[in-house]
């Protein structure tokens, strides 16, 4: 599907496996997009199931969610079934309920914090006993499913806002944006923490919530600016601490991939990236001259390279010695050594796959546009 409609995705239609949705801002534009889609199906001999098709509707069920001009809502039919369930009395019943309710967990604030007592009953060698607290948690989840607010679709021209919180057994976060000065939710998320992580300091738990949030919402935040709200000055503590633990250093490295500011004012800009269509090897010429590398980036303190002969030779060593540059060799078969490069390449690859398609032969035509998009945030 992605290959067939690669030039239409996100422009006139969306595709998920064998389901797709054609959209437009007006009846005429939607009709035009629909005509192009049907023509593409005819050209590629793609057969459609007319019994599952709906034409010219203003709202509908897509992948279990109701999509309309107001935003994203739950499917009332599914919620009504869950709301009629009696409280579970077996492990299988609890697992089944959490599975059904968990499908809409993105709509429920602190989902796992509420369901924590029920999830504990699923642990191995745990005595099964339905307490009043478990029944209350079950009723709370059912009530929240019927009182769910409408989530909005992201506006890529606006900054995202991320609110994080942590407790002794769970972390929670919500991603949203400001519309007319009002905060509107896009996605709720939560996660239980292990016994070892529950021993972290309060500030470290808050930082754990921030790190998990950036991992969870990476697809939203990697190319957009964001504002992070968290308690206990967690980010200020993280970036100001000089003698950090290895765990905290890993968190710092992960957060450096993103451009954001916190409620305390911490800002981590991401520098522009430079790519070329193909890797090139220029003629050696005067290798002692200051050429492209120093002009573009200034003289580097160190260069990390692989073990290729174009790096490991006497001439290259003389250049490094002249400009007092340390030459470090990456570990073989270990791409994590060049983490920032790999992350940037991966982000660029995803943009090209979504905008052009998986046919790499035509990627070079849109490389400049993709790079401009990656560097504009």
Flag whether 225 is in a domain. Answer: yes
Helix (H) or strand (E) holding 236: helix 234-240
**Residue 147 confidence (pLDDT):** 80
Same-domain check for residues 178 and 256: yes
- 3-class DSSP assignment, residue 200: coil
Q: How far is CA 185 from the centre of its chain?
A: 16
User: Any alpha helices (H) in 20-75, and if so which ranges?
Assistant: 27-43
What pLDDT, on a 0 to 100 scale, did the predictor assign at position 155? 86
Residues 165 and 142 occupy one common structural domain: no
Whether 349 contacts 370, CB under 8 Å: no
Q: What is the CATH number of the domain that holds 79?
A: 3.30.70
d(CA 376, CA 231): 30
Residue 36 covered by a domain = yes
Query: Given 246, 267, 288, which residue is the final one in a domain?
Result: 267
- The mean pLDDT values, 10 residues at a time, for the chain of 377 residues are 82 84 87 90 87 83 84 86 85 88 86 85 83 88 82 87 86 88 88 86 86 88 82 71 70 79 53 51 50 56 82 87 85 69 79 79 79 69
For residue 335, the model assigns a pLDDT of 64
Is residue 51 a part of any domain in this protein? yes
Q: What gap in Å lies between CA 179 and CA 377, rounded to an integer?
A: 20
Q: Is 179 helix (H, G, I), strand (E, B) or coil?
A: strand
**Which pLDDT does position 337 carry in this prediction?**
63
- Of 147, 173, 204, which residue is a domain's last? 147
State the pTM of this model.
0.59
Residues 248 and 219 in one domain: yes
Indicate whether 19 and 52 sit together in one domain. Answer: yes
What pLDDT is recorded for position 226?
82
Give the integer Cα–Cα distance in Å for 181 and 321. Answer: 56
| Length of the chain, in residues | 377
Can you tell me the distance from the alpha carbon of 353 to that of 33, in angstroms, rounded to the nearest whole number? 21
Q: Which residue, 146, 75, 88, is CA-closest to 122?
A: 88
Closest to 223 in 3D by CA, of 154, 298, 302: 154
Tokens 């039919």 — which residue? 77
- Looking at the domain assignment, is residue 173 inside a domain? yes
Q: Are residues 31 and 91 in the same domain?
A: no
- Total domain count for the chain? 4
Whichever domain contains 167, its CATH number is 3.10.20.370
Residue where a domain stops, chosen among 210, 238, 267: 267
Q: Which residues contact 300 (CB under 8 A, 6 or more apart)?
A: 293, 325
- Report helix, strand or coil for 372: helix
Alpha-carbon separation of residue 283 from 274, 286, 317 (angstroms):
21, 9, 17
In whole angstroms, give the CA distance from residue 103 to residue 73.
12
Q: How many CB atoms lie within 10 A of CB 151?
A: 21
Dihedral (Cα; 121, 123, 125, 127), 10-degree rounding: -10
User: Residue 103 domain-assigned?
Assistant: yes
For residues 221 and 254, membership in a common domain is answered with yes
Does residue 245 sit in the same domain as residue 186?
Answer: yes
Residues forming beta bridges with residue 74, ordered by sequence position: 65
- Looking at residue 377, its pLDDT comes to 54
Whether the Cβ atoms of residue 83 and residue 142 lie closer than 8 Å to each other: yes
In a domain, 209, yes or no: yes
In DSSP terms, 326 is beta-bridged to: 302
Determine the Cα–Cα distance for residues 337 and 348; give it in Å rounded to an integer.
Answer: 19
Residues 227 and 263 in one domain: yes
> What distances in angstroms separate CA 352 from CA 210, 249, 302, 366, 371, one per listed residue?
28, 31, 31, 7, 10
User: Are residue 260 and residue 203 in the same domain, yes or no?
Assistant: yes
**What whole-number distance in Å separates Cα of residue 225 and Cα of residue 376?**
10
> Do both 45 and 87 map to the same domain?
no
In a domain, 81, yes or no: yes
Whether residue 190 lies inside any domain: the answer is: yes
Same-domain status, 263 and 223: yes
Q: Which domain holds residue 360?
A: 339-375
Q: Are residues 206 and 143 in the same domain?
A: no
């Amino acid at each position: 599907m992605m290959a067939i409609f690669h030039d239409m995705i996100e422009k006139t239609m969306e595709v998920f496996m064998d389901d797709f949705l054609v959209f437009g801002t007006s009846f005429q534009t939607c009709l035009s997009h629909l005509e192009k889609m049907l023509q593409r199906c005819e050209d590629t001999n793609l057969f459609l199931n007319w019994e599952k098709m709906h034409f010219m509707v203003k709202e509908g069920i897509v992948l279990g969610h109701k999509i309309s001009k107001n935003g994203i809502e739950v499917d009332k039919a599914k919620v009504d079934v869950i709301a009629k369930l009696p409280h579970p009395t077996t492990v299988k019943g609890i697992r089944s309920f959490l599975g059904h309710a968990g499908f809409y967990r993105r709509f429920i604030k602190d989902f796992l914090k509420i369901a924590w007592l029920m999830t504990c009953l699923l642990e191995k060698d745990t005595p099964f006993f339905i307490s009043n607290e478990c029944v209350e948690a079950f009723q709370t989840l059912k009530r929240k499913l019927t009182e769910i607010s409408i989530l909005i679709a992201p506006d890529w021209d606006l900054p995202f806002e991320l609110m994080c919180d942590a407790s002794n057994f769970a972390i929670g976060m919500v991603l949203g944006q400001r519309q007319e000065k009002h905060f509107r939710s896009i996605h709720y998320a939560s996660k239980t923490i292990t016994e070892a992580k529950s021993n972290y300091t309060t500030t470290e738990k808050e930082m754990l919530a921030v790190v998990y949030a950036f991992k969870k919402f990476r697809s939203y935040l990697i190319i957009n600016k964001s504002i992070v709200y968290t308690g206990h000055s967690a980010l200020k503590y993280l970036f100001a601490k000089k003698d950090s633990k290895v765990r905290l250093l890993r968190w710092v490295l992960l957060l450096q991939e993103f451009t954001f500011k916190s409620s305390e004012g911490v800002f981590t800009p991401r520098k522009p990236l430079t790519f070329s269509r193909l890797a090139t090897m220029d003629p050696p010429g005067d290798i002692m001259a200051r050429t492209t590398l120093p002009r573009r980036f200034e003289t580097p303190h160190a260069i990390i390279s692989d073990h290729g002969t174009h790096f490991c030779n006497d001439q290259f060593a003389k250049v490094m010695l002249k400009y007092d540059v340390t030459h470090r060799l990456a570990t073989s078969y270990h791409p994590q050594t060049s983490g920032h490069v790999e992350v940037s390449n991966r982000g660029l690859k995803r943009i090209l796959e979504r905008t052009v398609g998986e046919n790499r032969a035509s990627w070079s035509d849109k490389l400049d546009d993709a790079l401009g998009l990656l560097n504009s945030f």
